[in-house]
Structure 1
Amino acid sequence: MIHVTRLNGKTFTLNALYIESVEEFPDTTITLTTGRKYVVLEKAMEVEKQIVAFYRQVQLLSNPHLRGENEDEEE
């Protein structure tokens, strides 16, 4: 889950697994896979950092293939 703030100042949590896109126009708009949209005070980069932190916490980014790494490549 990530914590974000509505434009009225109230905070709430979103399940990061359902986030399809994060855009700024200029307000940050989070679109879920259900089509529902939320406009929040946080900048898109801050939301994206929270999403990555959540994925790491639930070990979704622990697999090298999901991180875009190839174990066969030599450094």
Structure 2
Amino acid sequence: MIYVTLLGGRRILLNEKLIETIEETPDTVVKTTTGKKYIVMEKVDQLYDMINHHG
């Protein structure tokens, strides 16, 4: 699990094993295998580092 910050400032835990794609559009959009999408404040590189640190 990794912490991500939603655009409104609320932090949530996200299961990195359920992440299907991450893209910058320019907002960072995380799409999960369950079909949910989260717009987060972290950049793709930050998420990559967090996932590889915990994974």
Q: TM-score, normalised by structure 1?
A: 0.71
Superposition map of 1:18-33 within 5 A: 18-33=18-33
- Name the counterpart of 1:58: none
- CA deviations on 1:1-50 (whole Å, 9 max, x unpaired) are 00110100111110000001110000000000111100000001101111
Runs of 4+, deviation exceeding 4 Å:
none
- Name the counterpart of 1:43: 43
Flag structure 1 segments of 5+ consecutive residues without an equivalent: 56-75
Structure with more of its chain in strand, by fraction: 2
Aligned residues: 55
Q: TM-score, normalised by structure 2?
A: 0.95
RMSD (Å), alpha carbons: 0.6
| Partner Cα distance (2:44, 2:30) in 1 | 9
Flag structure 2 segments of 5+ consecutive residues without an equivalent: none
Percentage identity across aligned positions? Answer: 44
- Name the counterpart of 1:4: 4
The higher-RCO structure (CA 8 Å, 6+ apart) is 2
